[in-house]
Amino acid sequence: MRRQLAFIVLSVAGLSAHAGVNKCVDSDGNVVYSDTCTADKVKIGTVRNVAGKESAAPTSPPQKNYMEREAELKKTKQAKDEAEKKKDQQQAIAEAKKQNCLSAQNSERTLMEGGRIVTYGENGERSYMDEAAREQRLENARKAISENCN
């Protein structure tokens, strides 16, 4: 029974002791960790509090005023709008490439089928395409396909 009583008394006495570890800097600039800072040392802060008492609350970042928050929101909105605009432009370019690809493929198919191809001049005159012009247009169509079709 005495042992149990002694154990309880010592346990309770140990709880009241709260030794914290402090970070101090002496006059030479050396960092010293100690439970107390002497007069020649400047206390920077508490590193650890064994008992858990007097623990420093986590420091929150300084609160921003209304104007700073408003400027930050405007900057965020502007960046979002620019990203959306860039995305829309990329989609428009992709759609144009897709249309150019389809057009070039149709042109190649028409030129490959053979047959006589009719072209109309500036005056509306009808003329037939010769073999050299057909080969040139076929080459242009294949070049357009390689550029626009992936």
At 90 the pLDDT is 95
CA 69 and chain centroid, separation: 21
The rounded distance, in Å, linking the Cα atoms of 58 and 52 is 14
Q: Residue 141: its pLDDT value, please?
A: 92
Tens-digit pLDDT profile for residues 41-69: 666 666 655 555 555 555 566 777 888 88
pLDDT digits (tens, 9 = 90+) for 89-123: 999 999 999 999 999 999 899 888 877 888 888 88
SS3 110: helix
Predicted TM-score of the model (pTM): 0.46
The pLDDT score that the predictor gives to residue 78 is: 96
- pLDDT at position 76: 95
| pLDDT, averaged across the chain | 81
31-46 b/e (C-beta count within 10 Å ≥ 16 → b): eeeeeebeeebeeeee
